[in-house]
C-alpha cells in the first residue's frame, strides 16, 4: 500500500506539530518561571540586605567625615572623604550590577525551531 504525501499535507502536519510542541514548551517555561521566581527573589533580597548594610555604614562614615571636614578642613580629611564617597559610589554600582545579573538569570526564554524531518516509506 503506497501512501502519497503532497506538500500541502506535509506543511499541515509540520505546522500542527510545531504548534503542539510550542504550546508544551511555553507551558513548561511558565512552570519553570513560577518555580524559579521565588529563588531569584530571595537572592535579590539577600543582595539588597547585604549591600544596604554596607552602603549605610559608608554613608554614616561619610557624614562623620563631612562634619570633621567642616571643623578641621585639612587635605587629609578631604582625601579620606573623597575615598569614602568613591567607595559609596562603587558599592551602589556593584549592587545594581549584581541585582541586574540575578534578574537577567531569572528570565526564562523559549526558542524553538524545527530542524529536520524525515519521511520513511516502505
pLDDT tens digit sequence for 20-68:
988 998 899 888 888 888 888 999 999 999 999 999 999 999 999 999 9
Phi/psi at 3 (5° precision)? -110, 130
Per cent of the chain over pLDDT 90 is: 45
Grouping H, G, I as helix, E, B as strand and the rest as coil, residue 95 is helix
What is the reported pLDDT for 9?
79
Distance set, CA 90 to CA 36, 51, 55, 65, 99 (Å): 29, 11, 10, 18, 14
- pLDDT one-digit tens code per residue, 47-58: 999 999 999 999
Q: Where are the domains of the chain?
A: 7-105
Choose between 118 and 25: higher pLDDT.
Answer: 25
Q: Three cell numbers at 28? A: 513548561
Provide the sign of the torsion angle of the four alpha carbons 77, 80, 82, 85, taken in this order.
negative
pTM above 0.85, yes or no: no
Through-space distance between the first and last CA atoms of the chain, rounded to whole angstroms: 9
- Positive or negative, the CA dihedral 10, 12, 17, 18 is positive
| Per-residue DSSP letter, 72 | S
CB 104 within 8 A of CB 53: no
Length of the chain equals: 122
Amino acid at each position: 500500500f503506497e501512501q502519497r504525501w503532497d506538500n500541502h499535507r506535509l506543511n499541515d502536519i509540520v505546522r500542527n506539530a510545531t504548534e503542539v510542541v510550542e504550546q508544551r514548551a511555553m507551558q513548561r517555561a511558565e512552570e519553570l518561571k513560577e518555580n524559579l521566581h521565588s529563588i531569584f527573589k530571595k537572592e535579590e533580597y539577600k543582595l539588597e540586605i547585604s549591600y544596604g548594610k554596607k552602603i549605610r555604614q559608608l554613608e554614616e562614615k561619610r557624614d562623620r567625615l563631612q562634619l570633621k571636614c567642616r571643623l578641621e578642613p585639612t587635605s587629609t580629611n578631604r582625601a579620606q572623604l573623597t575615598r569614602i564617597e568613591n567607595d559609596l559610589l562603587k558599592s551602589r554600582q556593584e549592587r545594581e550590577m549584581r541585582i541586574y545579573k540575578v534578574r537577567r538569570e531569572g528570565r526564562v526564554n523559549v526558542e524553538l525551531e524545527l530542524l529536520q524531518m524525515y519521511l520513511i516509506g516502505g
